[in-house]
């Protein structure tokens, strides 16, 4: 009976996972572990590459775009077959694509698009649909009133896509005068502090008269909720997030956050791992489900469908898929 052994070796500043003899090396550049979900993406990616007979080479850039470019150079020089990138910056990461192509290495952008370059592939969820799901849910529960949008940072293309989705749904309500968009900003970072800072400002401007807030992700939503709690408004303002993070799932059960959007991360990670392995071994690649313009080309893209999460379907979605554990949710 074969026993799988995972060896974690620090090599030239990156982590090499698995035994490398004769196996394709697949590089993964992670922007940061600033929110809980990215640890899950990395875990599933390593697991999938291992199952498919490859070796994962992983590095994390602490949200430093220049550091990520240097890490890419190291990986390229180490002899990786394919490079998967979660970019720190949607524009500067184009340099990574150019560097990889000079060594005949294909690049797959994961979750976040890399713009203005000849990117080979893109694997993500449908980010426009994420914004639509948030807005559809809140307009169903609160079809009129004062709304606020606190989006993610502009260095991430997903922020703009989510905003487009939100406005696809909200604009008809705004045009009819049912909804007033009283606050509409992009944050500097995907962090709780950004959500808190903007919500304090929002509540001051609106004198507390706000009915619904759409947050770019669950970290921002936690900051929104902290500010609402200080004003004893938790549970009184509809609040949407994204990522299905554990603290937010717990707040949904308490009735303080209305909903979140879950991207099937395991499906995404396995999809990008399979695509990378096929490319490394020059096997046929499935037809892309869509194409998305990054300013230079229509990038073949594989998009998975996100889903709305509320108190009624937590068990059958994020728990059933193993993304969250029931005993931890109830703590």
Given the DSSP bridges, would you call strands 8-11 and 14-17 parallel, antiparallel or unpaired?
A: antiparallel
Are 190 and 317 in a shared domain?
Answer: yes
Question: What angle separates helix 157-175 from helix 127-141, to the nearest 10 degrees?
Answer: 30
Are 219 and 294 in a shared domain?
Answer: no
Residue 176: inside a domain, yes or no?
Answer: yes
pLDDT, position 313 = 96
Q: Which domain holds residue 44?
A: 8-119+265-304
Indicate if the pLDDT at residue 256 is higher than 60.
yes
Are 243 and 164 in a shared domain?
Answer: yes
Lowest-pLDDT range, 14-23, 44-53, 84-93? Answer: 14-23
Chain segment 312-322, per-residue pLDDT in tens: 999 999 999 88
Are 258 and 272 in a shared domain?
Answer: no
Residue 3: inside a domain, yes or no?
Answer: no
pLDDT, position 17 = 60
| Beta-carbon contacts of residue 6 (< 8 Å; ≥ 6 apart) | 17, 18, 46, 50
Span 289-313, average pLDDT: 96
Are 84 and 173 in a shared domain?
Answer: no
Are 108 and 177 in a shared domain?
Answer: no
| Beta-carbon contacts of residue 259 (< 8 Å; ≥ 6 apart) | 134, 137, 138, 240, 241, 252, 308, 309, 310
pLDDT, position 331 = 75
pLDDT, position 36 = 85
Residue 2: inside a domain, yes or no?
Answer: no
Three-class DSSP category at 238: strand
pLDDT, position 292 = 96
Indicate if the pLDDT at residue 265 is higher than 90.
yes
Indicate if the pLDDT at residue 195 is higher than 60.
yes
DSSP alpha helix (H) spans, the chain: 37-51, 65-78, 94-102, 127-141, 157-175, 192-206, 218-230, 246-254, 265-280, 326-329
Indicate if the pLDDT at residue 122 is higher than 60.
yes
Are 111 and 148 in a shared domain?
Answer: no
Indicate if the pLDDT at residue 9 is higher than 80.
no
Are 277 and 289 in a shared domain?
Answer: yes
Which two three-digit tokens encode residue 90? 């949607």
Span 23-48, average pLDDT: 95
Residue 1: inside a domain, yes or no?
Answer: no
Residue 297: inside a domain, yes or no?
Answer: yes
pLDDT, position 1 = 37
- Please, what sign has the CA dihedral across residues 223, 162, 26, 68? negative
Are 223 and 162 in a shared domain?
Answer: yes
Q: What is the pTM of this model?
A: 0.91
Whichever domain contains 236, its CATH number is 3.40.50.2300
Indicate if the pLDDT at residue 11 is higher than 50.
no
Are 240 and 270 in a shared domain?
Answer: no
Residue 36: inside a domain, yes or no?
Answer: yes
Are 203 and 315 in a shared domain?
Answer: yes
Domains identified in the chain, total number: 2
Are 294 and 229 in a shared domain?
Answer: no
CA distance 103 to 243: 35
């Amino acid at each position: 009976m074969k026993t799988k052994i995972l060896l974690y070796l620090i090599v030239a500043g990156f982590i090499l996972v698995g035994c490398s003899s004769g196996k394709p090396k697949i590089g993964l550049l992670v922007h940061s572990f600033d929110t809980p979900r990215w640890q899950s993406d990395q875990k599933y990616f390593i697991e999938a590459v291992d199952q498919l007979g490859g070796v994962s080479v992983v590095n994390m850039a602490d949200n430093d775009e220049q550091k990520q470019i240097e890490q890419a150079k190291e990986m390229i020089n180490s002899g990786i077959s394919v490079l998967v990138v979660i970019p720190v910056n949607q524009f500067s990461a184009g340099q990574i694509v150019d560097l990889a192509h000079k060594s005949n290495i294909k690049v797959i952008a994961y979750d976040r698009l890399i713009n203005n370059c000849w990117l080979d592939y893109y694997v993500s969820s449908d980010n426009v649909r994420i914004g639509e799901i948030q807005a559809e849910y809140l307009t169903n529960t609160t079809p009129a009133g004062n709304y606020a949008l606190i989006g993610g940072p502009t260095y991430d293309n997903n922020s703009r896509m989510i905003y487009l989705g939100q406005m696809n749904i909200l604009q008809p309500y705004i045009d009819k005068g049912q909804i007033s968009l009283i606050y509409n900003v992009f944050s500097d970072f995907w962090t709780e502090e950004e959500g808190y800072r903007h919500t304090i400002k929002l509540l001051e401007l609106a004198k507390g008269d706000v009915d619904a807030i759409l947050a770019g992700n669950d970290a921002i939503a936690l900051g929104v909720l902290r500010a609402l709690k200080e004003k004893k408004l938790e549970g009184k303002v509809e609040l949407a997030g994204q990522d299905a993070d554990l603290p937010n799932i717990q707040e949904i059960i308490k009735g303080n956050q209305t909903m979140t959007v879950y991207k099937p991360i395991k499906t995404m990670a396995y999809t990008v791992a399979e695509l990378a392995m096929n490319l490394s071994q020059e096997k046929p690649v499935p037809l892309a489900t869509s194409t998305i313009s990054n300013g230079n080309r229509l990038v073949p893209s594989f998009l998975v469908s996100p889903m709305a999460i509320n108190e009624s379907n937590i068990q059958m979605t994020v728990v059933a898929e193993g993304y969250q554990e029931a005993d931890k949710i109830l703590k």
